Amino acid sequence: MSDLRYDGRVVVVTGAGAGLGKAYALLFASKGAKVVVNDLGGGRHGDGSSSKAADDVVEEIKKNGGTAVADYNSVVDGDKVIKTALDNFGRVDVLINNAGILRDKSFARISDVDWDLVHAVHLKGSFKTTQAAFPIFKKQNYGRIIMTASNSGLYGNFGQANYSAAKMGIVGLSSTVAIEGRKNNIHCNVIVPTAASRLTEDILPPELYAELKPELIAPVVAWLCHENCTETGSMIESGAGWAGKCQIVRADGKLMRQTIADGVSVEKVRDSWDKITDMNSMQHMGSIQEATGALMSSLEGLRSGAKGSSSDDSDVYEY
């Protein structure tokens, strides 16, 4: 099988001055892409700025014979980041939304600043860069976008309510961008990484930290951004050389009405709870149409007067 290359492609990686973003930038450049190394160069909590982080990565890429340019804008000014790609390379093909900060506090102690800054960098930043690149992708009928979520968003994590909320917002953003981009060959996927970086140095256990090299995740991101990859609208979790697709699932559930005239009482909900929360026959819905379609067919069943068994445990209209 031939090597996968990115010659002629322009790749923008946000937050590429360190950690995962740096690993992505180095890999893309080593495979022929021209890379915009965006990094504000600030502190872990979103404080300060410096050109050094981006400059060092650009220097490393150039030393290895690759092509790259530094960009020091905050992702909140996403149009400026994309403009750097256009000004220097005349196009943009791939956008990796990776920049991130943490302002961890237990929920009761989160200030408006902690909330707003985290949302600005993660969620608004991903919106701004993607919105600037999207019309270009549409015009050229090609684009690959990566959004970065976190297990903290998917499952929650003590002290990270602001970050969890922003990361789950990114999942919703990605799902809709994937739908709107599909007809123009614009793919959008979410990476859910676990890697050693300054964001995780005091969070991950030391023995785990040493094994979680960002370089082990970069190839997963690079494949998702290759022209041969057809994946879109997905969430891929990755770390330590492992990768797997993540999906939102729901229980088969229970229709708590026997006829269209029936209401639903709190007691009925209580008595149905085992069924409502039984995940043994869970399903993944491929789209909003599929999810609401299942609801509608239950309703149609009730409307047409078809009745299930007279038993309260009827499974006939379950969805």
- Nearest distance in Å: CB 200, ligand NAI: 4
Residue nearest to ligand NAI (CB): 19
Q: Which is nearer to ligand NAI, 97 or 232 (CB)?
A: 97
Q: Which is nearer to ligand NAI, 18 or 222 (CB)?
A: 18
Give the active site residues: 163
Q: Which is nearer to ligand NAI, 44 or 226 (CB)?
A: 44
- Nearest distance in Å: CB 248, ligand NAI: 18
Cα distance from N-terminal residue to C-terminal residue, the chain: 44
Widest Cα–Cα separation across the chain: 76
- Nearest distance in Å: CB 27, ligand NAI: 14
Closest CA to 304 of 245, 259, 266: 259
Residues near ligand NAI, by CB under 6 A: 14-15, 17-21, 38-42, 44, 46, 53, 74-76, 98-101, 121, 125, 148, 150, 193-195, 197-200
What single DSSP character describes residue 40? Answer: -
Helix axes 125-140, 78-89, angle to 10 degrees: 40
- Nearest distance in Å: CB 290, ligand NAI: 29
Counting Cβ atoms within 10 Å, is residue 108 exposed (0-12), middle (13-18) or buried (19+)?
A: exposed
Query: How far apart (Å, rounded) are the C-alpha atoms in residues 48 and 136?
Result: 31
Q: Which is nearer to ligand NAI, 46 or 66 (CB)?
A: 46
Residue type for position 116: D
Query: How far apart (Å, rounded) are the C-alpha atoms in residues 79 and 132?
Result: 5
Counting Cβ atoms within 10 Å, is residue 161 exposed (0-12), middle (13-18) or buried (19+)?
A: buried
Helical H runs in 33-77? 52-63
Q: How many CA within 13 A on the CB side of residue 72? A: 10
Q: Which is nearer to ligand NAI, 29 or 199 (CB)?
A: 199
